[in-house]
Homo-oligomer: A and B are copies of this chain.
Amino acid sequence: MAIEDLFRQDVKVINIGLDSFRESLEKTGTPVAQVDWRPPLPVPPQSWLRLEAHREAIASANQEAVNRVLAGKPVLTGLGRALDCVPGMRPDLFLHAGPPVSWQRMCGPMRGAVMGAMIYEGLAATPEEAEKLAAGGRVAFAPCHEHAAVGPMAGIISPRMPVFIVRNETFGNCSYSTMNEGLGKVLRYGAYSPEVIERLRWMEETLFPALARCLDRTGPIDLRHIIAQALHMGDEVHNRNRAATSLLFRQLAPGLARTADSPETAAKVLEFINGNDHFFLNLAMAAGKAVLDAARDIPASSLVVAMARNGTDFGVQLAGTGGRWFTGPAPVPDALFFPGFTKADANPDIGDSAITETAGLGGFAIAAAPAIVQFVGGSVADAVNYTTQMYEITLAENKLYQMPALDFRGTPTGIDVLRVIETSILPFIDTGVAHREPGVGQVGAGVLSAPPEPFQAACAGLAETLAEPSSSA
């Protein structure tokens, strides 16, 4: 081709990286093929060299880890009191969301939830008394995640609280989560007013025995099946659980009618579940936890087995680094705020609910639930793009969890921290937003990308577990 021909032709551009170049060209009417590329997230060069030297071992460990995740079969087997069934639970122990945090570093809504739980437990009569006792060390704190449990938002699990018991039938491990209280003024968003405590008591005295008796009669409920259906029905089972809650409700209702201590109890329990489209959320979380815990403790694996936030720190755990937490500051989500509230009222990101994204659901499956993106001003195409990006940082597609909008492609599953580093694509997470002060409750719902620091730290942490490459290598 002669050089003058080149200038006679229309210009065709392949743009790599920065979107602003593409946008300028498109404004001039020039066709542009965009190649998504960003510089990798910085990690210490010696860490990266060590990881590079172990690429094969890491790949093989990751294959094992993600195979375990895909093989997991979470079923709801029953309910119990936390003190009776959660491993390592003690009468003076309160579990919370996210990585470890002291009372001193705890955010407002988590403090509020601790105060409410102390009143609920009968340890304090007033919020003031509860605050004083908590600050004085009356109870110990530990992450839910370190006790096979997960909790949304503040995620407080206190000893007498009833919990769902979810068993991973493939591997035999169990996970635990509280029952969802509903929206608005609820403990998990840091509210502790009398109505909050009263609802928790009703859940303990009426809802818990009714559901426990029903499940005793009907046997385990396959949560994987409900989640798979729900993804065909507009849920991503994090910020949208209407379909999953409906399907669970359908499975529970006949047994509840049969086993409740009275028709009125059955009706009240059914009304409570029907009144809360998020009732399934805590089960989606427990299902994710049960599945991901089976992939823990696989040396050299860079698979993320937990992403969790305590409202102060965002924490990550890997299959290859045992119980170690890698943390960074929790960001404030982009959200649609309830009337009267703004981003200035919002607490930084909080809750164990990112276990759904860690398991390939929630924000990773948002193409299944475009209504959530529309909620914060986006379109269906945005939802599809978010999910499509997540394939770049995950190890597998879950053929059981399919999304109609992607022609029934499986959800992107199993975050590889090395891919996060290499692509600079951070996990996309759906979330609720709590008021930053204790005692207020929910102020909105939204989406965010995980912060980079925990993934950078996790990468370096994984390198530390691997042998230094021999100089001859």
Chain B CB within 8 A of A263 CB:
yes
Residue on B with the closest CB to A243? B233
Check if A257 sits within 8 Å of B263, measured CB to CB.
yes
Chain B CB within 8 A of A132 CB:
no
Interface residues of A in 233-248 (CB under 8 A from B): 233-234, 242-243, 246-247
Other-chain contact of A407, B255, B258, B379, B404 (Cβ < 8 Å): B379
Q: In the bound complex, how far is the Cα of B274 from the Cα of A258, in angstroms?
A: 15
- Given A234-B234, A274-B253, residue A408 in contact with residue B266 (CB < 8 A): no
Check if A405 sits within 8 Å of B405, measured CB to CB.
yes
Q: In the bound complex, how far is the Cα of B407 from the Cα of A270, in angstroms?
A: 33
Chain B CB within 8 A of A98 CB:
no
Check if A251 sits within 8 Å of B274, measured CB to CB.
yes
Q: Mark A293-330, 1 if CB is under 8 A from B, else 0.
A: 00000000000000000000000000000000000000
**Residues of B with C-beta under 8 A to A407:** 379-380
Residue on B with the closest CB to A274? B250
Chain B CB within 8 A of A271 CB:
yes
Chain B CB within 8 A of A17 CB:
no
Other-chain contact of A371, B232, B243, B258 (Cβ < 8 Å): B232
Chain B CB within 8 A of A254 CB:
yes
Check if B249 sits within 8 Å of A271, measured CB to CB.
no
Chain B CB within 8 A of A4 CB:
no
Residue on B with the closest CB to A256? B257
**How many copies, total?**
2
**Residues of B with C-beta under 8 A to A246:** 243, 246-247, 249-250
**Residues of B with C-beta under 8 A to A268:** 254
Chain B CB within 8 A of A374 CB:
yes
* Total A residues in contact with B, Cβ cutoff 8 Å: 35
**Residues of B with C-beta under 8 A to A251:** 274
**Residues of B with C-beta under 8 A to A260:** 257, 263
- Given A246-B243, A274-B253, residue A263 in contact with residue B267 (CB < 8 A): no
Other-chain contact of A405, B255, B263, B267, B380 (Cβ < 8 Å): B380
Q: In the bound complex, how far is the Cα of B243 from the Cα of A229, in angstroms?
A: 10
Chain B CB within 8 A of A264 CB:
yes
Check if B266 sits within 8 Å of A234, measured CB to CB.
no
Q: In the bound complex, how far is the Cα of B264 from the Cα of A211, in angstroms?
A: 17
Check if A254 sits within 8 Å of B232, measured CB to CB.
no
**Residues of B with C-beta under 8 A to A270:** 253-254, 257
CB distance from A77 to the nearest CB of B (A): 21
Other-chain contact of A264, B243, B249, B258 (Cβ < 8 Å): B258
Residue on B with the closest CB to A404? B370
Interface residues of A in 30-89 (CB under 8 A from B): none
Q: In the bound complex, how far is the Cα of B254 from the Cα of A404, in angstroms?
A: 32
Q: In the bound complex, how far is the Cα of B266 from the Cα of A258, in angstroms?
A: 8
**Residues of B with C-beta under 8 A to A267:** 254-255, 257-258
Q: In the bound complex, how far is the Cα of B234 from the Cα of A408, in angstroms?
A: 13
Q: In the bound complex, how far is the Cα of B229 from the Cα of A405, in angstroms?
A: 18
- Given A270-B257, A271-B254, residue A404 in contact with residue B371 (CB < 8 A): yes
Q: In the bound complex, how far is the Cα of B253 from the Cα of A258, in angstroms?
A: 12
Q: In the bound complex, how far is the Cα of B370 from the Cα of A370, in angstroms?
A: 15
Interface residues of A in 366-381 (CB under 8 A from B): 370-371, 374, 379-380
Which of A249, A253, A380, A405 has the most chain B CB atoms closer than 10 A to its own CB? A253
**Residues of B with C-beta under 8 A to A264:** 258
Which of A234, A371, A408 has the most chain B CB atoms closer than 10 A to its own CB? A234
Residue on B with the closest CB to A266? B257
Q: In the bound complex, how far is the Cα of B274 from the Cα of A232, in angstroms?
A: 18
Which of A249, A257, A258, A274 has the most chain B CB atoms closer than 10 A to its own CB? A257
- Given A407-B380, A408-B374, residue A242 in contact with residue B233 (CB < 8 A): yes
Interface residues of A in 261-297 (CB under 8 A from B): 263-264, 266-268, 270-271, 274
18 A-B residue contacts at CB 8 Å?
A232-B234, A232-B371, A233-B233, A233-B243, A250-B250, A253-B274, A254-B268, A254-B274, A255-B267, A257-B260, A257-B266, A258-B263, A266-B266, A371-B404, A380-B404, A380-B405, A380-B408, A404-B405
